[in-house]
Chains A and B, each alone.
Chain A
Amino acid sequence: MTGEAIVETEELTKRYAGGTLAVDRVSFQVKAGEVFGFLGPNGAGKTTTIMMLTTLIRPTSGRATVCGRDVVASPHWVRQQLGYVSQDVAVDESLTGWENLYLQGRLYHLEPAVLRQRVGELLATVELEEPAHRPVATYSGGMRKRLDIAAGLIHRPRLLFLDEPTLGLDIQTRSRIWEYIRRMRDEHGVTVFLTTHYMEEADRLCDRVAIIDHGRIVALDTPAALKQALGGDLVTIRLAHPGPVPGGVGGGRPPLDRPAGDGQQAGHEAGHEALKALAAEMARLPLVESVQPGADSTVQLVVREGERATPVLLDFLSSRRVRVESVALKRPTLDDVFLRYTGRQLRDDEGAAAYHRMARAVRRVRG
C-alpha cells in the first residue's frame, strides 16, 4: 500500500498578515504508508505547513491536496480523513482521560457503541487504562501527551499529523511515543506526517525527511540517503603499531617495546612513512572513498556502508600483521546534514524549548 501520494503540495506558500513569509513555495509528496518528517529549527515553517494541510489556516498561494482532495476546496472532507495532534497538549484538564477520548469521538460522529469500544482499546494502547477515570489535571506531562495522541487516532484516520510529538518529554516517554508511532504505521497502515527539531527523532523514526529552513525545503530524501550524500561514514582506526616493518621483522610489537633514546625518534619517522604506505594500500580497498593518515598512529577513512567496510579494513590490517588498538565508526548524523544544507547547527534543546514557547505565544497572538 506504499506508493501513491496521500499528501501533495505545489508551491505551497503562507505569508502572514504581518508580512512574515512563513512557508515559501514548498512542493513535496508524502506517500501512503510512510512516516514522513519535517525537520527544521523553530520558526522554519513546520507548524505553518501542518496548519495549512489540516485546514486550520488558508494558504496564501499554491496548492495542497490531502487524500486526493484540495484542502481549500474540500476542507470538511479533508478533516474527516486526517488526525491532528498539535504541539500544544490539547487535552481538557477538567475532564477525565476517558471523557476526553469520548468527546473527541463524538466530534468525529462515531456511533456510541463503536466509540466506547475504541476508547477502551486506545486507552490500553497508550497505557492509560488505570487512570482513565481520573481528571486529566492529575496526569503527568507524558500521560497527557499519550492521551492527546490517542485522541488523534479515535476515528482511525488514514493520515496522522503529529506536530512535535515529543517536545519537552523525557527520554523514556519519548521512546514510548516512538514505539506507538511505529506500531500505528506497521499494524494499521497509518501514514504519519510529523515535524520535529530533534535530529535523532527524524533519523530513527522517519522513512523520508524534508529539511526545512526559512520556509524552504532544502533537502528531501531518506535519512540514509541524506547522510550518504555527505560522502559516507567515517572510520577512525588507531594502530597498536606504527606500521609494518618491511620484511615483517618486529611486526606486531607495540611502540612501547622499542628501546628508548635516539632510536625512538628514528623509529617514529620510519613508522610514519610506513603508515603512509599502509594508507595508500588501504585506499585501494573496496568501499573506501578516501584515506587520511593522521598523527598518533591513526588512520581516518571515509567509506561507503561503514558496517561492511569496517571488517574489510580489519581483515586487511590483520593480513598485514598490524595490530589494531581501537576502531571507531561514526555515521554522519542528520546534524551534519543540517549543517551541510543550511550552514547552521540546530539550536540545542534547552534554548530551543524557551525559544519555542516564545514563538508559540507570538503565533497565538496572531491567532
Chain B
Amino acid sequence: MSGTGIASAAADAYPVGSRWTTLPADTWWICWRELKRLWGQKIRIFMTLIQPLIWLALMGNMFQRIAAIPGFPARSYLDYMAPGIVTMVTLFGGIFGGLGIVWDRRLGYLQKLLAAPISRTAVVTGKMLAIAVQTAFQALVIFALALAMGVHFAAGVAGVPVLLLLAVLLSQVFAGISLCLGAVLTSHEALMAVVNFLTMPLMFTSNAMMPLDMMPAWLAKLAVLNPLSYAINPMRSLFLTGWDWAGLARGLVVLALSGLIMTAAASSLFRRSMA
C-alpha cells in the first residue's frame, strides 16, 4: 500500500468539511463536556440552588421595610427583589462561567481541543451554551422558590419562558466578557481580581436592588449603560405589572445584540491568543 493510497483513504474516511459546517455539533459537544462536569460535581449544583434561596430569605426580610418608603414601586420588597436575584445569579454564573477556560489552558486540555479538527469558535460557543443551560435552570429554580415564598408574578404562565429568555440572553453577555478576559489574561489570580472588581459595581450601578428614581442622578445615568438594567426592567415588569411590550422588546434586542457582540469579541480574542 503506497502512502498516497493511505492519504486518499484517510481523506475519504474523515470528511474534510469546512470549519463552519461542524460548528453546531462541535458547540454541542463542548457544551456536553461542561454539563457532564457540572453534573459530576453535585456540590456545585447544590450551591447554585442554596445561594438564591438564602438571598431571597435574607434580603427579602432584611430590606422588608424599604417597601414602606413612599414611592417604592412594589407591594413587598420580595416582589421587587425576585427579578433582582435572578439577574444577580445570572451575572455571577455568567462571569465566572468562562473562567474554566484558563484551567483548560493550564492543564493542556485546551491544546488538545485545538489540535482536533473542530471549529475554533466552538470552544467559545460551547462554553456559552453550557452557561445558558445552567442559567435557565437556575432562573427556573429561583422563580419557583420565589413563588413558594409568596411572590406575585403578574405576567402569568406565558411570562415564564420570557423570563428565562431574558436571563439566558443576559448570561451570554457576561459569559462573553468572562471568555474575553480568559483569552487575554492567562493568570488565574489576575483574572479573579478583575472579575471581582467588575461584579460589585455592576450590581450596584443597576436597578437590581433599588429603583432608578431613588438613586443619585449620576448613579442612575450609569445604570442606563449597564446591561443588567436591560434584563431587570422587563423582568420586573413581568413580576409587578405584566406585559410591557415596548420595554420587553428593547430589553431583548439590546441583550441579544450585546450577547452577539461579546461572542464575536471572545471568539476573535481567543483565536488571536492561540496564534
Contacts and interface: CB of A to CB of B under 8 A. Distances in A.
B40 A86 contact: no
B29 A103 contact: yes
Contact of B10 (A51, A76, A81, A91): A81
A108 B116 contact: yes
Interface of A, helix, strand, loop or mixed by DSSP:
loop
Contacts of B201: none
Contact of B3 (A32, A57, A88): A32
A94 interface: yes
B217 interface: no
A107 B25 CA distance: 9
Contact of A76 (B32, B117, B187): B117
Contacts of A189: 6
A365 interface: yes
Contacts of B41: 94
A356 interface: no
B10 A84 contact: no
Contacts of A80: 10, 14, 16, 117
B7 interface: yes
Interface of B: 1-3, 6-7, 10, 13-19, 22, 25-26, 29, 32-33, 36-37, 40-41, 105-109, 111-118, 186-187, 273-275
Q: Which of B17, B36, B106, B108 has the most CB of A within 10 A?
A: B108
B115 A6 contact: no
A108 B33 CA distance: 15
A99 interface: yes
A91 B108 CA distance: 9
Interface residues of A, number: 45
Contacts of A91: 109
A104 B6 CA distance: 22
Interface of A: 1, 3-4, 6, 32, 51, 54-58, 67-68, 76-77, 79-82, 84, 86-92, 94-95, 99, 103-104, 106-109, 135, 151, 155-156, 158, 189, 364-365, 367
B111 A1 contact: no
A322 B200 CA distance: 91
Contacts of A89: 108
Q: Which of A79, A91, A99, A107 has the most CB of B within 10 A?
A: A107
